Amino acid sequence: MFAKMIFSSLLTISALAGSAFAAPFNPQTQSLDRRYISFNNWHGLSSLSGFDNFYGSDNFSGEISTQVVEQETEVVCHSLSVEIIQQKLLVLQEMAKQIITEQICDVETQTIVFQQYISASSHFTSDIMHTSGISAGYDSSIVSHYSGLYNSDGSLSTSDLGISGSDVGKSVIVPTGTNWNSATSPSSVQAAYTAAQSAISGN
Ligand SMILES: *[C@@H]1O[C@H](CO)[C@@H](O)[C@H](O)[C@H]1NC(C)=O
């Protein structure tokens, strides 16, 4: 009994460690066998009307499998102080919170929309680490809509930006100039990922 308990808690620990430290999900080598729940009007919430249209049904996290890279535009990375990078990302983080809390009133919809945002963003991990088959870059035509988020008086706009989740990946810029080395970087980015995950979980 005691031995069995130890064994099952070891299993739990290794399962947790497995999810924290495993390489990001790779759609080319793994499959996700789960049942999709439609979120259109989920639990009768009209604020979720049309939710599934954005990425298409059965596609909650909008993972892209193909991308169109704009070959004619060459962009080279130029490093900037990490604190300035952290400042910029903090602004984006708080803007997401502003949109979710000021423009969604149903807490269930706030919950589902924020989970979709995190999940859709998280695929970028395996792009950076070169394990997804998708190059690490950004969709320049989506980025160009940033000025449509606010009105000139600084309040959040209510305008339809005319874009959909299915537009992402159609005009991708892949900046060059990173220190990626195909011999050494697979293990060094894995070590970086593991260190960051340990910092997150506090071990
Ligand atoms: C999911 O959405 C993304 C983004 O729109 C798209 O690239 C991908 O093809 C979609 N996947 C499926 C299975 O529909």
CA of 98 to the centre of ligand 1 (A): 27
Distance (Å, rounded) from C-alpha 82 to C-alpha 13?
A: 34
Kindly state if the Cβ of 193 falls inside 6 Å of ligand 1.
no
The predicted-structure confidence for 112-127, as pLDDT tens digits, reads as follows: 999 999 999 999 999 9
What confidence score (pLDDT) does residue 36 get? Answer: 79
In short, whether 64's Cβ falls inside 6 Å of ligand 1 is yes
pLDDT digits (tens, 9 = 90+) for 73-100: 899 999 999 999 999 999 999 999 999 9
Is 27 touching ligand 1 by the criterion CB < 6 Å?
no
- Angstrom CA distances, 145 to 32, 71, 102, 139, 167, stand at 32, 21, 19, 11, 12
Q: Kindly report, residue by residue over 121-153, the tens digit of the pLDDT.
A: 999 999 999 999 999 999 999 999 999 999 999
pLDDT tops 60 at residue 31: no
* Pocket lining: 55 vs ligand 1, CB cutoff 6 Å: yes
- Convert 71-107 to b/e letters by CB count within 10 Å (16 or more is b): eeeeeeeeeeeeeeeeeeeeeeeeeeeeeeeeebeee
Q: Which atom of ligand 1 is nearest to the CA of 64?
A: 7
CA 70 vs. chain centroid, Å, equals 21
Single pTM value for the model: 0.81
Determine contact, residues 163/145, Cβ cutoff 8 Å.
yes
Compute the distance between CA of residue 115 and CA of residue 100 in angstroms, rounded to an integer: 11
Q: Is 141 in the pocket of ligand 1 (CB under 6 A)?
A: no
Q: 172: Cβ below 6 Å to ligand 1?
A: no
Atom of ligand 1 nearest to the CA of 169: 7
94 alpha carbon, distance to own chain's centre: 16
Q: Give the model's pLDDT for residue 168.
A: 95
